[in-house]
Amino acid sequence: MCGIVGYLGSQSAVPILLNCLKQLEYRGYDSAGIAILNGDDLTVAKSAGKISFLENMLQEEGIPESHVGIGHTRWATQVRPTDLNSPPDTGCTSNFAVVHNGIIENYQAIKEWLQKEGHSFVSETDAEVLPHLVEHFYQGDLETAVLEVINRVEGSYAMMVFTHKEPRKLVAARKDSPLIMGLGEKEYFLASDIPAILSYTRQAYILEDGEVAVLKPEGAYILDWKGLPVDKAIFKVEWDAAAAEKAGYDHFMRKEMHEQPRALKDTLSSRISLDNRYVQLNEVSLTPQQIKDFTRIKMVGCGTAYHAGIVGKYLIEKLVRIPVEVDIASEFRYRDPLLDERTLVVVISQSGETADTLAALREAKRKGARVLAVTNVVGSSISREADDVLYTWAGPEIAVASTKAYTTQLICMYLLGLYLAQVRRTLSEEEIATMITHLRQLPQQVQMILNREQQIKKLAETYTRSELENIFFIGRGLDYAVAMEGSLKLKEITYIHAEAYAAGELKHGTFALIEEGFPIIALGTQESLLEKTVNNVKELKARGATVIGLALKGDTQLQECVDEIIYLPRTHNDLTSILAVIPLQLLAYYAAVTRGTNVDQPRNLTKAVTVE
C-alpha cells in the first residue's frame, strides 16, 4: 500500500513521476519504483529504501526518455521490503507493468492457478498476480483485459497498468483504495492522493469503486466495471501546493501544530451564529424529528480518530443525555453491532479513506443506521458514502503523526454535541451561548500555548533522554481521553513505550511497574475530579515516580505534588481537551527531535491506512 502515480502526456515522464512520488512521501513507505516506456522497451527501475536511492540508480544508469509511466512508493504489508519485492510488478515477458495500492485477498488461489497455466513468479507480493492476470487475458485491448481482471480479484485495490503493446494508453482501476485522475493540457495524471498532482493541475476526476480510467493522448474517459461509459463531474481542488510545503519549518509536524489556531477558526467559521447564541450545521440534513428520534450514537474510528471519538462520547453523553458507544473501526463490523434506523453512527477519519472505517460505514448503512462522517478530505470515499459530512477544514496534513486533524475533529465533536443539545433541548440557550463563547476563544488560547513551546522543549530534552524506555500518561474523565492521544503521539514518533491509564486504575496492578524516577505525565484539567487526580499523583510520588503535571491556570493543588507543571489557559471545563493535547503534541515532537528519530515519517507507519 501507500502512494501510486501515473503520467501520460508530451513531457518527460520520469521527472514528473519522481516529483509526484515525493509529494506522497508523507504517507510513509519502504520501497519505491517506476516503470516507463522507452521506445518499444518497457523499463523498470526499483529498489528498497527511499526515493533518493531510486534517483541515484536512475542517474547512474541514465534517465531514459519517455512520455508514459507509472510509479509507486510502497509499505510492505505482508512481505519483506527487498529490491525484488519492490514495485512495480511485471508479467512473465515484462510486456506488462502494474502498480497496486491495497491487498488482493484471493491472490494465493489466483497465483496457484496462474502457475498451472505456465506463469512464473519472482517476488513474494500479492500484487504480482495482477500483471500476470492482465497478460493472461490480454487479446489486443488493455482496458478489456483490465475489466477481466477486476471481475476476478477480491480485496482492495487502486491499480495502474500499461504495456508496450499499446504505448499510447494507460489504464487504471479502483476498489476501496483512493484514486484520482488529474486533467492537464493534453496530458493526464493518476495518483492515490491529490497532493501528488497539485504542481501540474487542480482539475481532477475522483474515481468511485468499480470504475476504470483509460488515458490516451487524444483524450481520457471512465468506464464502470461492465465497460460502460461513466459521466463524471470535474472536481476542482481549492487549496494549492504551497499549503503542503514546510514553509520554513524543520518538519511538517511542527508546521501543522502551529497551523492549529487557523484550522480551529476555519472549522468553527460559518457554523456558529454571529451573535454566538446557537450552532448552525447547514451541511447536516438531519431533520429535528430525526435527531429527537435517535436512541443512541456510535462513534467509530482508528488511532487518533478513535481518541477523538472517546472525547465525543464524554461530551455528547453529558450535553445531550443520550447513550454513546465508541468502537475501534477494525472491530466494529466483526462483532455484529446492534444498529437500526434510530442509531446515529459517527465515523471519524482524517483521510476519508481509512479502510476499516469505510467498512464500518458500509456495515452501518447496511443495517439501516444513519451515518455522519467527520473527515478532512473533500471528495474522499467516506465523505461520498456517508449520509452527512462535517468537514474539519484542517487543510492538508502531511506528517504521519496527526495533530491539527485531531484538534479539528474535537471541534466537530463540540459542535455536534451542542447542535444535538440545541435540537433536543437538553441545554438551555444560556448554557449553549456560554460554551460557544468559550469555543470562540480556543484558537487564541491554543496560540498562547504554542508561544510557550520552548518550556516544553526543555522538558522534553530533560525527561526523554535516549535511555528512556517507558512513560505513563494518566488522567480522569476527559483527561483520560486526552492521555490516550498523548501517549500515542509519543510512542509513534519517539518509539518510547508509552501507555495511558485512567488514574484510578493505577492501584489495580500498574503500581507494580512504578520505581524510582519512573516518568509520569499527569493531566489535571477536570476541576470536579482534580482532588482525586492529586491523590493518585501523591501515591505515584510515594513510590518514587517523576511527575510532570498539566493544569488550568490558577489551580495550585497539582503543582504542590509534581516535579514540573505546565499551565493552560482557563476555559469551560468541558472544552479543555483541545488545550490539554497541545503540550502533549509539543512534548512528543521535541522528544523525537532530541532522540533523532524521523519525525514526519516514523518507521512502519503510513498516513492513510487503506488496507485492513
Q: Active-site residues: which are they?
A: 2, 607
Give the angle subtended at the CA of 269 by the CAs of 263 and 274, to the nearest 5°: 150
Listing from the earlier edge strand, what are the strands of the sheet with 96-104?
A: 89-90, 96-104, 155-163, 170-175, 211-216, 219-223
Q: Report DSSP state, residue 354.
A: -
Q: Is 447:261 a contact under the CB 8 Å cutoff? A: yes
Cα-atom radius of gyration of the chain, to the nearest Å? 26
Question: Quick one: cell of 99?
Answer: 502498480
* CA–CA gap between residue 66 and residue 37 (Å, rounded): 6
- Give the chain's end-to-end CA distance (angstroms, integer): 11
Element housing 100 (H / E): strand 96-104
Q: Is 172:123 a contact under the CB 8 Å cutoff? A: no
Q: Is 158:100 a contact under the CB 8 Å cutoff? A: yes
DSSP letter string, 479-522: HHHHHHHHHHHHHHHH--EEEEEEGGGTTTTGGGG--TT-EEEE
Q: Is 222:213 a contact under the CB 8 Å cutoff? A: yes
Element housing 42 (H / E): strand 41-48
CA neighbor of 163 nearest in space, from 132, 136, 142: 142
Q: In this structure, which amino acid lies at residue 290?
A: Q
Q: Which residue has the cell 461492465?
A: 226
Q: In this structure, which amino acid lies at residue 298?
A: K
* CA–CA gap between residue 497 and residue 103 (Å, rounded): 30
* CA–CA gap between residue 213 and residue 180 (Å, rounded): 9
Give the alpha-carbon dihedral of 481, 485, 490, 493, to 10 degrees.
Answer: 170
Look at residue 76 and give its three-state secondary structure: coil
Strands (E), 322-443: 324-328, 343-349, 370-375, 388-391
Question: Quick one: cell of 564?
Answer: 514540573
Alpha helices in 269-396 (DSSP H): 288-293, 304-320, 329-332, 355-366, 381-385
Look at residue 573 and give its three-state secondary structure: helix
* CA–CA gap between residue 6 and residue 21 (Å, rounded): 10
* CA–CA gap between residue 190 and residue 441 (Å, rounded): 42
Look at residue 585 and give its three-state secondary structure: helix
Three-state secondary structure along 189-202? EEECCHHHHCCCCC
C-alpha 388 chain-centroid distance:
19
Look at residue 417 and give its three-state secondary structure: helix
Q: Report DSSP state, residue 30.
A: S
Question: Quick one: cell of 348?
Answer: 471519524
